[in-house]
Amino acid sequence: MKFSLTAEQQELVEKARTFTKEWVAPNAVKYDRSGEFPRDVCQEAFNQGFMNPAIPKKYGGVEESVLDTCLALEEICTGCSGIGTAIDANGLSQYPVIFAGNDYQKKKFLEPMTQELMFSAYCVTEPEAGSDVSRIKTTAKKIGNDYVINGVKWWITGGSVASWYFVLAKVDDKATGFIVPADTAGIIRGVKEQNLGQHASNTIRITFEDVKVPQEYRLGEEGDGFKIAMKTFDHTRPGIASGANGITKAALNIGLTYAKGRRTFDKKLISYQGISFKLAEMMTKLDAARYMTYLAADLFDQGEDNSRQAAQAKWYAAEVAMWSAVECCQILGGYGYTNEMPAEKLLRDAKIYQIYEGASEIQKMIIVAKLMRTREVH
């Protein structure tokens, strides 16, 4: 059991840290306030190899491990988790193709994404089906050699910039996955949602009205959709946890810098236990969240079942990020409640980690479900 990074991993972290200092952090406020999609930052991320890390080498990708992706993503989200989500979101829609796609599908939809900056989006969530994927109402009716899709998908990250979508729809009540090009007739893209945080991340609703998709764009067999979606979450939840860890690290650095510089009653703020203990807890919880994240990622990389560990990492890291953002605001006092300091942005950005890719309550349900099949914990 090793707790240190390899030389290659440390080099990756340093590269991501430099990219964040030069491109992400300087643009965080700009895109948070404008709500524009950070295409220029994504282009530089693509140029430097931070986009599409999971695409197999056979199709032009680098086939990076989940653990390595997590290391880079934590650094990027320390600068801005909204921009980090814009950079990382492709992975959520790409993995169903990596996991369940055939050679034709991978070559057609994954390979071009390694040649130029492109985006894809994961279309599963609906107005009445979020964490409960089984409640999706979008349908796909088989007509000849095509499927005709009808339904509405909501809160779709990267929806308006995507070139194609992974869409989960029911074929005769069987959840089935499809690759759907974004320029297909019948797709209606809504306006950008006005979310609480992560304003740089493009989120919209998408309506499918008699959208015709050829049979060769179906992923796996009819009824494989739920299995594909769940396996995708095992792959992506460690990355979500890493994004949350980035917020925690940013909160710690902001709080630490302010507490070391601010003086009250002729003493530095950090000299008061009420403040210093917050920072001590923040550091300890960050380390715990990191190790849970790294374990979940490493298990996936080793081909082992990581469902419980991925759920634990995602849930705990999200809770720590939210708590740390609140405590950072408290340390800064009045400054923590204004947009003069970045603490309030961390607070807004952190909340989504407790919700997307399965709310915290869903992660606990996954953990308990695993425990129910365990005779004894060792």
Contact partners, residue 310, CB within 8 Å, separation at least 6: 233, 234, 237, 238, 241, 296, 300
| pTM metric for this prediction | 0.96
Residue 56 in any domain: the answer is: yes
Give the number of other Cβ atoms within 10 Å of residue 47's Cβ: 11
Contacts 24+ apart (CB under 8 A), 257-260: 258/331, 258/332, 258/335, 258/341, 259/331
Shared domain for 65 and 51, answered yes or no, is yes
Q: How confident is the model at residue 2 (pLDDT cuts 50, 70, 90)?
A: confident
The confidence score (pLDDT) of residue 107 equals 98
Residue 377 in any domain: the answer is: no
Please write the tens of the pLDDT for every residue from 58-101. Answer: 999 999 999 999 999 999 999 999 999 999 999 999 999 999 99
Query: Where in the sequence is the domain holding 300, given as residue range(s)?
Result: 226-372
Residue 185 in any domain: the answer is: yes
Cα 153 to Cα 5: distance, rounded to the nearest angstrom:
40
Q: How confident is the model at residue 341 (pLDDT cuts 50, 70, 90)?
A: confident
Residue 357: active-site member:
yes
Shared domain for 202 and 75, answered yes or no, is no
Task: Indicate whether 131 pLDDT > 80.
Answer: no
Shared domain for 235 and 348, answered yes or no, is yes
Shared domain for 357 and 251, answered yes or no, is yes
Between the alpha carbon of residue 264 and those of residues 252, 328, 365, the distances in Å are: 20, 17, 45
Please write the tens of the pLDDT for every residue from 11-43. Answer: 999 999 999 999 999 999 999 999 999 999 999
* E strand or H helix that includes residue 210: strand 203-214
Contact 364, 255 (CB under 8 A): no
Q: Which position has the token pair 């032009």?
A: 60
Shared domain for 368 and 243, answered yes or no, is yes
Cα 206 to Cα 152: distance, rounded to the nearest angstrom:
6
| One-character DSSP codes across 300-339 | HHTT---HHHHHHHHHHHHHHHHHHHHHHHHHHGGGGGST
377: DSSP letter: -
Q: Indicate the average pLDDT of the chain.
A: 96
Q: How confident is the model at residue 134 (pLDDT cuts 50, 70, 90)?
A: confident
Cα 352 to Cα 192: distance, rounded to the nearest angstrom:
16
Shared domain for 92 and 108, answered yes or no, is yes
Average pLDDT estimate for 301-328: 98
Q: Tell me the CATH number at 210.
A: 2.40.110.10
Cα 272 to Cα 378: distance, rounded to the nearest angstrom:
40
Shared domain for 70 and 133, answered yes or no, is no
Shared domain for 239 and 126, answered yes or no, is no
Shared domain for 74 and 168, answered yes or no, is no
Q: Tell me the CATH number at 368.
A: 1.20.140.10
Cα 291 to Cα 369: distance, rounded to the nearest angstrom:
22
Q: How confident is the model at residue 130 (pLDDT cuts 50, 70, 90)?
A: confident
Share of the chain above pLDDT 90, in %: 94
The torsion angles phi and psi of 196, rounded to 5 degrees, stand at -60, -45
* Residue after which a domain boundary falls, among 158, 187, 222: 222
Given 304, 357, 361, 376, which residue is catalytic?
357
Residue 325 in any domain: the answer is: yes
Q: Which position has the token pair 């030069």?
A: 22
Shared domain for 75 and 144, answered yes or no, is no
Q: Which position has the token pair 């814009």?
A: 86
Tokens of 167: 């869409």
Contact 259, 275 (CB under 8 A): yes
The confidence score (pLDDT) of residue 375 equals 87
Residue 357 in any domain: the answer is: yes
Residue 378 in any domain: the answer is: no
* Residue after which a domain boundary falls, among 95, 114, 133: 114
The confidence score (pLDDT) of residue 301 equals 98
Which string of b and e fits 240-271 if b means at least 16 CB within 10 Å?
A: bbbbbbbbbbbbbebbbebbeebeeeeeebbe
Average pLDDT estimate for 342-347: 96
The confidence score (pLDDT) of residue 143 equals 97
Between the alpha carbon of residue 36 and those of residues 25, 26, 51, 194, 267, the distances in Å are: 15, 15, 19, 11, 43
Which of 245, 198, 228, 177 shows the shortest CA–CA distance to 89? 198
Q: Tell me the CATH number at 67.
A: 1.10.540.10
Q: How confident is the model at residue 129 (pLDDT cuts 50, 70, 90)?
A: confident
Shared domain for 12 and 106, answered yes or no, is yes
Residue 178 in any domain: the answer is: yes
The confidence score (pLDDT) of residue 293 equals 98
Residue 2 in any domain: the answer is: no
Cα 104 to Cα 229: distance, rounded to the nearest angstrom:
20
Please write the tens of the pLDDT for every residue from 189-240. Answer: 999 999 999 999 999 999 999 999 999 999 999 999 999 999 999 999 999 9
Task: Indicate whether 128 pLDDT > 90.
Answer: no
Cα 194 to Cα 204: distance, rounded to the nearest angstrom:
9
Shared domain for 141 and 235, answered yes or no, is no
Contact 92, 104 (CB under 8 A): no
* Residue after which a domain boundary falls, among 175, 190, 222: 222
> How many CA atoms does the CB half-sphere of 347 hold within 13 Å?
14
**How many folded domains does the chain comprise?**
3
Please write the tens of the pLDDT for every residue from 98-108. Answer: 999 999 999 99
The confidence score (pLDDT) of residue 80 equals 98
